[in-house]
Structure 1
Amino acid sequence: MRTSTLTALALSAGAAAAATVKRASGVTPITVKGNAFFAGNSRFYIRGVDYQPGGSSDVADPIADEAGCKRDIVEFKKLGINTIRVYTVDNTASHDACMSALADAGIYLVLDVNTPKYSLNRADPNPSYNDVYLQNVFATIDAFHNYDNTLAFFSGNEVINDPESSAAAPYVKAVTRDIRQYIRSRSYRQIPVGYSAADVSENRLEMAEYMNCGTADERSDFFAFNDYSWCDPSSFQKSGWDQKVKNFTGYGLPIFLSEYGCNTNTRDFGEVVSLYSSDMTPVYSGGLVYEYSQEASKYGLVEISGDSVTELTDFSVLQSQFAKTSNPTGTGGYNSTGGASGCPAYSSPNWLVKSDALPAIPEGAKKYMTQGAGTGPGLSGAGSQNAGGASSGTATAGSGTATQTASSSGSSGSSTGTNSAVSIKTPEWSVAPLVCGAVVIMSTFFGAALL
Structure 2
Amino acid sequence: MRSIALASVLAAAVNLVTVVASPTPTEPEQPHKRASLPAVTASGNAFWQGSTRFYIRGVDYQPGGSSAMKDPLADTTVCERDITEFKKLGINTIRVYMTDNSANHDTCMNALADAGVYLIVDVNNPLYSINRFAPGPSYNAKYLQSVFATIDEFVKYDNTLAFFSGNEVINDNVTSTLSARYVKATTRDMRQYISNRGYRKIPVGYSAADVSQNRMQLAQYMNCGSDEERSDFFAFNDYSWCNTNFATAGWGEKVKNFTGYGIPIFLSEYGCITNGRDFGEVKALMSDQMTSVYSGGLMYEYALEENGYGIVKIPSSDSATVEEQPEFAKFAKALSANPAPTGSGGFTSTTNSVPCPTKDANWLIDSTELPSLPDGAKDLMKTGAGAGPGLKGAGSQNAGTGDTGNATPSSAGSTATSSSKNSAGLTAGPLEKAPLIIAGLVCVLTMTGTLLL
Q: What range describes the TM-score normalised by the shorter chain of this pair?
A: 0.7 to 0.9
Shift in Å, 1:200:
1.2
Corresponding residue of 1:384? 396
Amino acid at match of 2:57: R
User: Which residues in structure 2 correspond to 1:29-428 (within 5 Å)?
Assistant: 29-162=39-172, 163-232=174-243, 234-305=244-315, 306-347=319-360, 349-388=361-400, 390-398=402-410
8 Å Cα contact 2:242/2:273 also seen in 1: yes
Shift in Å, 1:67:
1.1
Amino acid at match of 1:334: F
8 Å Cα contact 1:114/1:137 also seen in 2: yes
Shift in Å, 1:20:
4.1
- Number of residues paired by the alignment? 391
8 Å Cα contact 1:130/1:391 also seen in 2: no
Amino acid at match of 1:379: L
Instruction: Provide closer, same or farther for how the CA distance between residues 103 and 158 of structure 1 changes in structure 2, counting only shifts above 3 A.
Output: same
Corresponding residue of 1:433? none
Amino acid at match of 2:137: P
TM-score (norm 2): 0.83
2: distance between equivalents of 1:339 and 1:79? 35
Shift in Å, 1:390:
4.2
2: distance between equivalents of 1:244 and 1:344? 17
Which segments of structure 1 move beyond 3 Å, counting only runs of 4 or more? 17-20, 388-391, 425-428
2: distance between equivalents of 1:330 and 1:230? 27
8 Å Cα contact 1:218/1:398 also seen in 2: no
Amino acid at match of 2:178: A
8 Å Cα contact 2:132/2:179 also seen in 1: yes
8 Å Cα contact 2:155/2:199 also seen in 1: yes
1: distance between equivalents of 2:148 and 2:109? 19
8 Å Cα contact 1:132/1:384 also seen in 2: yes
8 Å Cα contact 1:231/1:263 also seen in 2: yes
1: distance between equivalents of 2:114 and 2:233? 26
Which of 25, 38, 56 is the equivalent residue of 2:35? 25
Aligned-pair RMSD on alpha carbons? 2.2
The answer to which of 353-362 and 321-330 deviates more is: 321-330
Percent identical among aligned pairs is: 60
1: distance between equivalents of 2:419 and 2:326? 40
Amino acid at match of 1:397: P
1: distance between equivalents of 2:110 and 2:104? 11
2: distance between equivalents of 1:353 and 1:426? 40
Q: Tell me the SS of whatever aligns to 1:367.
A: helix
Shift in Å, 1:391:
4.2
